[in-house]
Amino acid sequence: MTDTCKAGCMTTTPDIVIPEDMKPSDGRFGCGPSRVRPAQIESLAIDAPLYMGTSHRQATVKSVVHHIREGLTNLFSLPDGYEVVLGNGGSTCFWDAATFCLIQQRSQHLVFGEFSSKFAKAAKAAPHLGEPDVIESEYGSHPDPRFDPAVDAYCLTHNETSTGVAMEIVRPRPLAVNPGEAAAGEVGGGGSGQTASAGEHEAAALVLVDATSAAGGLRVDAKEYDTYYFAPQKCFASDGGLWIALMSPAAVERVEHIGGIGRWVPAFLDLKIAIDNSRLDQTYNTPALATLHMLANQIDWMLASGGLEWTAGRCDRSAEIIYSWAEASGYAKPYVSDPASRSHVVATIDFVDAIDASVIARVLRANGIVDTEPYRKLGRNQLRVGMFPSVEPDDIAALCACIAHVASSLSV
């Protein structure tokens, strides 16, 4: 069979048939939009006659927004004072909002992939902000933040969707000055061994975490961040176009402070407006009602199944399956060399030069197994697999068997 590529050229896809009993129960493995559970669609269809096409300023829709805010508070075990804030536009929009409303003068950015680099570029381009401190590492790894008294916002990425690298979220703290102080707090990561000025900085500097592909699938401690923001088209198996931010009292205070100093902020990007509307269980402008409904249903499913520990454990099992398979295959291996940095929600698997991963992806797609192609700008001979909570670990095992079947057929 042949496919037409974007440039108009023709590519040939080998006519390889994968046995039906080998295939996963659901062939969707995309990294966003991700697999939507049938129960989410069924629930929306049941409620649609009295929900879809109704006002987002009335109780029918506002009750769903309230349900989302309450559910996320429980799912992430948010401390008292943290708020769940919603707005339209997705995570890309939130980067711009953060440059107006959360970064006061200077930010620090960890860059280790396509998406983490975009927030850094947005901060660099903002004319009202100072030059950001950008710490980069080679793709396939991640850098660590460094404590800097001149920084008022640390911008971290929990999971880099483009490369399949995840990092633990820990609030940057100053290094202990001497061994005696080290005993009072962990060196570089724990910290009570610090001067008064450093302590003041720690209280003032916010930790902003891009959790677009991590939230709901990776463990995180709310006390280690001030804003944990994401969109619902990954772990929450909904559609894009919405951003959600879990905000600490310090983050809310920063928004209010910047609003009080007269900085001009476009209304669409004004987080003070978003906070005020969210407290009323609504968004500033009209949201996609289906997106809200599917998000609420997914949160209910996660909580009923066991909460964040259950969803993270489910992703752990999927990750163990695919990485173990790749390492044992003889022709594939995890792209991320450090096991501790391998994402448990997005797997990137490299192949030896003799096997063309793009051909495998095309054969899989022809057999109804879709969206395993690598991130387009990474340019590697690899597959990228979404392992979000809606994906059954058994389907990850079946996918591995299908890849092996295709690879074996190609090498004959």
Structure confidence by residue, pLDDT tens digits, 178-213 = 444 443 333 344 333 333 344 454 458 999 999 999
> Is the previous residue joined to 33 through a cis bond, with omega within 30 degrees of 0?
yes
> 386 and 263 in one domain?
no
> 159 and 70 in one domain?
yes
pLDDT of residue 405: 98
CATH number of the domain at 173, please.
3.40.640.10
In which band, very low, low, confident or very high, does the pLDDT at 132 lie, cut at 50, 70 and 90? very high
**How many domains does the chain fold into?**
2
Residues 90 and 291: their CA atoms lie apart, in Å, by 12
Distance, C-alpha 168 to centroid of its chain: 13
Helix locations, 167-270, DSSP H: 179-182, 196-204, 249-260
pLDDT of residue 148: 96
> 296 and 321 in one domain?
no
Decide which of 283, 304, 325 is a domain's last residue: 304
- For 231-241, what is the mean pLDDT? 97
- For 98-115, what is the mean pLDDT? 97
CB-based contact 86:63 (threshold 8 Å): no
**Does residue 176 surpass a pLDDT of 70?**
no
Question: Is residue 45 situated within a structural domain?
Answer: no
Of the candidate ranges 5-9, 120-124, 136-140, 253-257, the one whose mean pLDDT is the lowest? 5-9
Unique residue bearing structure tokens 């929450």: 236
**Does residue 146 surpass a pLDDT of 50?**
yes
> 258 and 145 in one domain?
yes
> 243 and 391 in one domain?
no
SS3 content of the chain, % helix, strand, coil (to 5): 40, 15, 45
**Does residue 280 surpass a pLDDT of 50?**
yes
pLDDT of residue 193: 33
CB-based contact 234:213 (threshold 8 Å): yes
> 69 and 29 in one domain?
no
Question: Is residue 207 situated within a structural domain?
Answer: yes
Question: Is residue 49 situated within a structural domain?
Answer: no
Unique residue bearing structure tokens 């063309």: 356
Beta pairing partners, 153: 107, 206
| Burial degree of 330 (CB within 10 A; 0-12, 13-18, 19+) | exposed
Quote the mean pLDDT of the chain. Answer: 92
Question: Is residue 371 situated within a structural domain?
Answer: yes
Structure confidence by residue, pLDDT tens digits, 284-313 = 999 999 999 999 999 999 999 999 999 999
- For 234-256, what is the mean pLDDT? 98
> 222 and 75 in one domain?
yes
pLDDT of residue 3: 56
The token pair that represents 369 in the structure block: 């197994």
> 204 and 173 in one domain?
yes
387 φ, ψ (degrees, to nearest 5): -125, 40
Q: What percent of the chain has pLDDT over 70?
A: 90
CB-based contact 214:235 (threshold 8 Å): yes
- For 327-334, what is the mean pLDDT? 98
Range of the domain at 215: 54-304
CATH number of the domain at 349, please.
3.90.1150.10
- For 349-354, what is the mean pLDDT? 97
Residues 281 and 286: their CA atoms lie apart, in Å, by 12
In which band, very low, low, confident or very high, does the pLDDT at 1 lie, cut at 50, 70 and 90? low
> 319 and 288 in one domain?
no
pLDDT of residue 187: 34
Question: Is residue 43 situated within a structural domain?
Answer: no
pTM of the model: 0.91
Decide which of 285, 304, 323 is a domain's last residue: 304
Decide which of 261, 285, 304 is a domain's last residue: 304
The token pair that represents 132 in the structure block: 């950001």
Unique residue bearing structure tokens 């096997």: 355
- For 333-346, what is the mean pLDDT? 98
**Does residue 236 surpass a pLDDT of 60?**
yes
> 213 and 103 in one domain?
yes
Question: Is residue 42 situated within a structural domain?
Answer: no
Residues 164 and 287: their CA atoms lie apart, in Å, by 30
Structure confidence by residue, pLDDT tens digits, 50-99 = 999 999 999 999 999 999 999 999 999 999 999 999 999 999 999 999 99
> 174 and 231 in one domain?
yes
pLDDT of residue 160: 97
Beta-strand ranges (E) seen in 36-158 are 83-88, 107-111, 133-136, 153-157
> 232 and 105 in one domain?
yes
**Does residue 344 surpass a pLDDT of 90?**
yes
- For 377-395, what is the mean pLDDT? 96
Structure confidence by residue, pLDDT tens digits, 315-326 = 999 999 999 999
CB-based contact 227:208 (threshold 8 Å): yes
Question: Is residue 343 situated within a structural domain?
Answer: yes
Question: Is residue 46 situated within a structural domain?
Answer: no
